[in-house]
Amino acid sequence: MGKLAKIPVLALLLIFGCQIKPQQLQPALVHEGEVYVYMEPLPLKAQRLSFTFNGVYCIRADGALIPLRLHMAGFDSVLAGRQRLVARGILPAGQYTGLALSVKDAHLRSEEGMQSSLLVPDKPVRRELPFTVRERGGVVISMTLRYGQAVRAGFNFTPAFDLKIPDKPVDALLGYVVNTGSNDITVFNKLAMEVTGVIVTGAGPMGMALDPNLKRGYVALSREDAIDVIDMTEGAVVGRIRLNTGDSPSQVALTPDGGALLSVNTGSNTVSVIDPVSFVERSRIKVGIQPVYIQLDPSGKRAYVFNYFSNTISIIDLTSGSVVATVPTDPAPIRGAFDRSGGKLYIINESTPYLTVLDTSSLAVIKRQFAGQGMRAIKVDTRSDLIYIGKMNTPLLEVYDPFTFIPVDYIKAGEDPAYMTIDNDENNLCVVDPVLRSLIFISLSSRKTVSMIDVGSGPYWVSLMGER
């Protein structure tokens, strides 16, 4: 990739705070695959147990141990009260027979609170689970502790885990977190709030759009000038849409009828209109300088493209395929959200502390509300029209009343909320946090965190079946 193509990508990482240094960007896999190992919540019997892994290895068919990188080593009933990512790694394609688990130490707390050390094996313990690592393929392995076999006689601990490949949920329960740093997509069950799979993509995946009818997902590859096509049933990349050299696509959007896929090409200051069936680019529309985001209005007739460096929004009529208006904004517009009717567009900018409200009929600014510096995520609940705003390096989401524009609540949401959507079925706000490398589920009824899942490196985006 040439120098000009790299500049927009690095700028996007800074704009959206992916917490990824340029030298840490992982190249796309070619002949290797990827394995994620998750531990299921510890059973109630293990509430007084704690242990620390020394290493997790995949056992190749020839018996060789291939080490994975530990994501989390120490566990107890609190830390493992939900599914947790233990280790992940890139492996040569081929056949594997299971995992080998090395334990550093283990302890058991008595009912009186006294902690005693348990004897642990001096060599890695092997657990069987035949699996295949395919080129540019991903595998998730789930571990469940069998307490009765793990703790024996009150002074021995062995890593007695049952291993399995998680079952794929029904399509209506699928959710996806796009991880820019690790070049993959975490697949999860939005009802169980657990990871069930991983999809390896090309380099620099960013925005994603879902087509529930075709059971497809489309992911912009910012470092490969392309869009990966995901088969939701197979849970794998099944095609690639090639764009022009230097396009550096960052976002995609699908029209409500599924007839057109729009790609925001940050590197070439264009939007591509693509046939999602044939993968052919029908047309290319010139917009402002460094477009970074696209939002379709509720009618699906217009697309609003946020141009970061030209401080404008280009409004595209999707029937004519042309820019019909260009609206000036505060410096560095990065995200936006429509109200329920589509009559108002709420705009946040990286370089100003004001939330701007645009009337979509007159294209006039009708409100500039001070909301503070660092805004980078916004979501409007179309049931209530409440506005949720996340700020960089701030653990609290601010909730604004759409009539008074006064904050009516603050919600604890991890450490660094970067992107949000709402699960219409479960009424949960789903928040991507790149610092915690997690997706956080917040009940909109109680406004409390109900669960979290660990994902890959540099999580950037979340898409759900049935989101609103």
> Model confidence over 87-113: pLDDT tens digits?
999 999 999 999 999 999 999 998 888
Span 444-466, average pLDDT:
97
Check residue 17 and give its pLDDT. Answer: 61
What are the E-state strand segments in 308-414? Answer: 312-317, 322-328, 333-338, 344-349, 354-359, 365-370, 375-380, 387-391, 396-400, 407-412
Residue 3 in this model has a pLDDT that exceeds 70:
no
Residue 203 has pLDDT above 90, yes or no: yes
Q: Is the pLDDT of residue 245 over 90?
A: yes
Calpha distance 204→179 (Å, rounded): 8
Using only the alpha carbons of the chain, give its radius of gyration: 23
- Letter for the amino acid at 86? V
Listed range (25-29, 31-35, 459-463) with the worst mean pLDDT: 25-29
Side-chain half-sphere CA neighbours of 360 within 13 A = 25
346 touches 378 (CB < 8 A): yes
- What's the pLDDT band for 2 if we cut at 50, 70, 90? very low
**What's the whole-number mean pLDDT along residues 163-187?**
97
233, 213 Cβ separation under 8 angstroms? no
| Residue 124 near residue 102, CB atoms below 8 Å | yes
3-state class percentages of the chain: helix first, strand second, coil last, to nearest 5: 5, 55, 40
What the block records as the tokens of 392 is 């960089």
| Confidence (pLDDT) at 10 | 58
440, 450 in Cβ contact below 8 A? no
pLDDT digits (tens, 9 = 90+) for 282-332: 999 999 999 999 999 999 999 999 999 999 999 999 999 999 999 999 999
106 within 8 A of 121, measured Cβ to Cβ: no
The whole-number pLDDT of residue 34 equals: 98
pLDDT value of position 346? 98
- H/E stretch holding 49 reads strand 49-60
Whole-angstrom CA distances from 149 to 47, 78, 146, 161 are 15, 21, 6, 9
Residue 198 — very low, low, confident or very high, per pLDDT cuts 50/70/90? Answer: very high
How far is Cα 166 from Cα 141, in angstroms, rounded to an integer? 7
When pLDDT is cut at 50, 70 and 90, the band that residue 4 belongs to is: very low
- Among the residue ranges 2-11, 77-86, 234-243, 370-379, the one predicted with the least confidence is 2-11
Q: Across the strands, what pairs with 421?
A: 430
Name the β-bridge partners of 357. 346, 367
> Is residue 375 pLDDT above 70, yes or no?
yes
Tell me which residue of 290, 306, 415 sits closest to 358, measured CA to CA: 306
pLDDT of amino acid 381 = 98
The pLDDT, as a whole number, for residue 445 is 96
Beta bridge partners, 101, equal 56, 125
Nearest to 138 by CA among 45, 205, 224: 205
Once rounded to an integer, what is the mean pLDDT over residues 451-456? Answer: 98
Of the given ranges (14-28, 100-114, 294-308, 444-458), which has the lowest mean pLDDT?
14-28
Where does the pLDDT of residue 1 fall: very low under 50, low under 70, confident under 90, or very high at 90 and above? very low
What pairs with residue 139 in β-bridges?
35
Give the SS3 label for residue 22: helix
Average pLDDT over residues 254-262: 96
DSSP 46: G
d(C-alpha 250, C-alpha 205), whole Å: 8
**Interatomic CA distance for residues 335 and 291, integer angstroms:** 11
Give CA separation, 151 vs 46, 122, 147, 157, 242, in Å.
Answer: 9, 16, 6, 5, 54
Torsion angles phi and psi, residue 462, rounded to 5? -135, 135
Give the whole-number percent of the chain exceeding pLDDT 90.
92
Where does the pLDDT of residue 145 fall: very low under 50, low under 70, confident under 90, or very high at 90 and above? Answer: very high
Topology adopted by domain 29-164: Immunoglobulin-like (2.60.40)
pLDDT for res 111? 85
**Residues 6+ positions from 321 with CB-CB distance below 8 Å:** 273, 282, 283, 285
DSSP code per residue over 217-236: EEEEETTTTEEEEEETTTTE
H or E segment to which residue 6 belongs: helix 3-16
**Under 8 Å CB-to-CB from 32, ≥6 apart: which residues?**
90, 91, 92, 93, 133, 135, 136
Which pair of tokens denotes residue 284?
A: 């290319």
Q: Residue 39 to residues 75, 80, 98, 195, 463: CA-CA distances in angstroms?
A: 10, 8, 15, 10, 24
Which token pair is 46?
Answer: 């293990």
Distance CA 184, CA 137 (A): 10
